[in-house]
């Protein structure tokens, strides 16, 4: 082989070596690139893993924070759901409670036992001309009838916690009526008075209201009767005259009442009492007839129904107490035949109610003392729930019970 061939061969070797180096270099570069790409991808994955891990931790923390709140919310929802049936049950129970009838203890109808009000004791005209004009007596819980001069009688009607709009007609005072004003601790209402009554107003310290044509009463001139029979009042006008007088009662109610009906037929000495007649004089006889359906007594005077001027209804009474005391004519300078009454002491009488009469005892120790009523065995008298007419009859006059 010649020199040129050797050079040529060397040249070829060098070129081949260069090419190999070039190829190697390219491969290395490619490998390095692949390595870098792999590393970059690995870094990204690592970062991604780290991000995911951080996110998971963050979510876990959020859940840990929120779980009590969510728990409370769920519990509240459950509670609301569970409360709804309970509320419905409670509501139903309340409705059932409302629907159940409320049973109240029975109370007296004639008076309020818890009231401490003082009653008003009003003098009522019972002249034959005035009798058809009498008004408001049905509202009185007690009425007294007592003899006066000329064989006539007068009433004293006692009102407690009423609002009666017409009462009358009003008449003048007689001194023995004051004894019954005092036993009821009442404020006395009248127009005019006898000299004896005038004196007793001061001695007995009677709280009174004088009915007149103005502040405490009015004259009804449309009635076409004598002037003395035209004076009327009402509870509102009576109160106009009370002023600073004591308003609270210092005594118990005169009578003791029973809410439940009293069986008088079982009491010793009882007798049937369907008709009663109480004679006062040749001019006045009060009578009663029992109404079995209504269980009250219908009142008449001198055989004529005793009727209210306003309501046109016959007066009725649940209870009647009747007893006798002696009366006498006063030695009166005016010589008008005014009467005195021997009502301090004791005696016998009758209590009448619901178709039966039973014998009773009565006693009054002084003018201001309350009259005490007892059965024959000494037991305190108890009356039925209703109004009471007390007939204080002149001694020796006829009394009929049948």
Q: How far apart are CA 352 and CA 359, in angstroms?
A: 9
Mean pLDDT confidence for 289-303 = 98
Q: Label residue 2 by pLDDT band (50, 70, 90).
A: very low
Question: Could you tell me if 170 and 191 are in contact, meaning their C-beta atoms sit under 8 angstroms apart?
Answer: yes
**For the chain, what are the domain ranges?**
22-100, 121-401
Closest to 322 (Cα-Cα) out of 122, 143, 168: 143
pLDDT at 125 over 90: yes
> Helix, strand, or coil here: 164?
coil
Closest to 368 (Cα-Cα) out of 344, 346, 390: 344
Question: Could you tell me if 144 and 392 are in contact, meaning their C-beta atoms sit under 8 angstroms apart?
Answer: yes
pLDDT at 51 over 80: no
| End-to-end alpha carbon distance in the chain | 186
Determine phi and psi for 323, rounding to 5 degrees.
-155, 165
What mean pLDDT value characterizes the chain? 86
pLDDT value, residue 89: 57
Give the CATH H-level superfamily of domain 121-401: YerB-like (3.50.90.10)
Q: How far apart are CA 191 and CA 367, in angstroms?
A: 22
Question: Could you tell me if 342 and 327 are in contact, meaning their C-beta atoms sit under 8 angstroms apart?
Answer: yes
Q: What is the pTM of this model?
A: 0.76
Q: Label residue 60 by pLDDT band (50, 70, 90).
A: low
């Amino acid at each position: 082989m010649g020199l040129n061939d050797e050079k040529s061969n060397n040249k070829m070797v060098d070129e081949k070596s260069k090419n190999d180096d070039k190829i190697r270099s390219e491969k290395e570069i490619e490998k390095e690139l692949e390595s870098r790409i792999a590393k970059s991808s690995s870094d990204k994955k690592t970062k991604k893993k780290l991000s995911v891990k951080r996110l998971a931790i963050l979510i876990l923390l959020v859940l840990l924070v929120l779980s009590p709140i969510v728990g409370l919310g769920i519990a509240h929802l459950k509670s609301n759901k569970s409360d709804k049936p309970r509320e419905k049950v409670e509501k139903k129970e309340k409705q059932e409670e409302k629907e159940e009838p409320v049973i109240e203890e029975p109370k007296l109808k004639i008076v309020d036992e818890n009231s401490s009000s003082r009653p008003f004791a009003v003098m009522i005209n019972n002249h034959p001309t005035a009798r058809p004009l009498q008004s408001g007596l049905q509202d009185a819980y007690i009425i007294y009838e007592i003899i006066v001069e000329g064989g006539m009688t007068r009433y004293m009607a006692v009102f407690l916690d009423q609002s009666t709009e017409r009462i009358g007609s009003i008449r003048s005072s007689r001194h023995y009526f004051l004894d019954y004003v005092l036993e009821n601790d009442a404020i006395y209402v009248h127009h005019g008075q006898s000299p004896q009554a005038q004196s007793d107003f001061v001695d007995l310290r009677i709280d009174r209201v004088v009915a007149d044509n103005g502040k405490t009463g009015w004259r009804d001139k449309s009635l076409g009767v004598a002037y003395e029979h035209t004076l009327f009042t009402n509870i509102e006008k009576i109160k106009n005259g009370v002023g600073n007088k004591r308003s609270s009662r210092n005594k118990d109610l005169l009578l003791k009442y029973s809410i439940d009906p009293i069986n008088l037929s079982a009491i010793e000495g009882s007798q049937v009492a369907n008709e009663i007649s109480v004679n006062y004089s040749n001019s006045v006889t009060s009578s009663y007839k029992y109404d079995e359906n209504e269980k009250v007594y219908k009142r008449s005077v001198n055989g004529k129904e005793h009727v209210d001027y306003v309501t046109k209804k016959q007066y009725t009474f649940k209870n009647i107490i009747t007893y006798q005391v002696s009366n006498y004519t006063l030695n009166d300078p005016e010589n008008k035949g005014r009467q005195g009454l021997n009502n301090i002491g004791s005696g016998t009488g009758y209590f009448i109610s619901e178709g039966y009469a039973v014998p009773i005892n009565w006693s009054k120790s002084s003018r201001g003392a309350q009259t005490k009523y007892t059965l024959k065995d000494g037991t305190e008298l108890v009356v039925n729930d209703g109004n009471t007419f007390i007939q204080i009859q002149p001694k020796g006059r006829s009394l009929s019970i049948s």
